[in-house]
């Protein structure tokens, strides 16, 4: 079912031929990630599915191959990736670099939604750069169209009073469930802003795109409403369109949508003041904290 009164303007049939290009999709074994892997592979890209559970990933890959049929020439492979463990995340990047010499599309799709308070093994609230060289290398190649797509959601508007100065500030348990979720989605946008500014000369294009599992963990009494809620939400096929648009559509370069915030379906959306971060205070603060944690934990 689609969002009420939603009329998709862009479809998977609009994806150009991706033969020869290489993509990574995190969290690609289910939902939006699954659809993204399938449609990139359908158009000829070699796709790496990065997720935690090998059995689920391999089953998803087999399902995609079955759906695409025997004539599919794309390579679809699995690499173990745990977003909550920086060492394992770094190893996943290294595993990829050992297998490939280019990376055209990186879709950071993996994530969770409004779960109860929890810290990762690295001591980081779970919602809260080894691939950059190969991305830059690919961007320097003839006829390259390197894209980095970070999945966020309109829930970033729940964020208020963000402080990314220290890990302790980031992990404040005083935030509500939706407040923590909002901060995590805001941080995705801030990271996108900052990364694009730092890569402005390299040719990469970075975008944030919009995303009911987490809320039901936080508030089990909402379970009876899950079906009704699902009728108002986009299906995975519809929901994946925006990130596929950002990852593949030629017009995003023609329109110069660098660091754009795109919401369903493939619509440019105005950021609020926090996400716009015109003075780069929050973005640089968040970037510095990320660099510090990667050095310490990875």
Residues acting as catalytic residues: 181
What is d(CA 243, CA 209) in angstroms, rounded to the nearest whole number? 6
Starting from the edge strand earliest in sequence, which strands make up the sheet with 22-26, in order? 76-80, 46-51, 22-26, 105-108, 147-152, 205-210, 261-263, 267-268
107 SS3 class = strand
Record the tokens describing residue 285, joined without a space.
């603060």
Neighbours of 23 (CB within 10 A): 26
Name the burial class of residue 107, with classes exposed (0-12), middle (13-18) and buried (19+) by CB atoms within 10 angstroms of its CB: buried
Name every residue whose Cβ is closer than 8 Å to that of residue 68 and which is 6 or more positions away in sequence.
38, 41, 42, 74
Round to whole Å and give the CA distance between 228 and 247: 31
């Amino acid at each position: 079912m689609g969002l009420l009164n939603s009329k998709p303007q862009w479809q998977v049939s609009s994806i150009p031929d991706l033969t020869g290009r290489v993509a990574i999709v995190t969290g690609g074994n289910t939902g939006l990630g699954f659809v993204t892997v399938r449609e990139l592979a359908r158009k000829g890209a070699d796709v790496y599915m990065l997720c935690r559970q090998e059995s689920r990933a391999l089953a998803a890959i087999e399902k995609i191959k079955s759906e695409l049929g025997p004539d599919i020439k794309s390579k679809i492979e699995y690499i173990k990736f745990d977003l909550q463990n920086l060492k394992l995340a770094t190893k996943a990047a290294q595993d990829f670099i050992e297998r490939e010499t280019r990376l055209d599309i990186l879709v950071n799709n993996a994530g969770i939604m409004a779960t109860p308070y929890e810290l990762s093994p690295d001591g980081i609230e779970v919602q809260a750069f080894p691939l950059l060289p190969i991305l830059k290398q690919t961007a320097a190649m003839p006829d390259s169209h390197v894209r980095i797509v970070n999945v966020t959601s309109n829930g970033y508007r729940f964020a208020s009073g963000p402080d990314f100065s220290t890990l302790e500030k980031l992990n404040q348990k005083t935030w509500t469930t939706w407040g923590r979720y909002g901060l995590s989605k805001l941080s995705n946008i801030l990271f996108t802003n900052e990364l694009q500014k730092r890569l402005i000369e390299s040719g990469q294009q970075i975008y944030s795109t919009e995303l009911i599992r987490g809320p039901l963990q936080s508030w089990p009494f909402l379970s009876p409403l899950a079906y009704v809620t699902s009728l108002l939400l986009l299906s995975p096929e519809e929901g994946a369109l925006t990130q596929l648009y950002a990852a593949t559509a030629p017009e995003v370069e023609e329109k110069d949508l660098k660091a754009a915030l795109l919401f369903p379906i493939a619509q440019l959306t105005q950021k609020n003041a926090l996400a716009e971060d015109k003075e780069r205070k929050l973005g640089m603060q968040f970037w510095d904290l990320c660099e510090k944690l990667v050095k310490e934990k990875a």
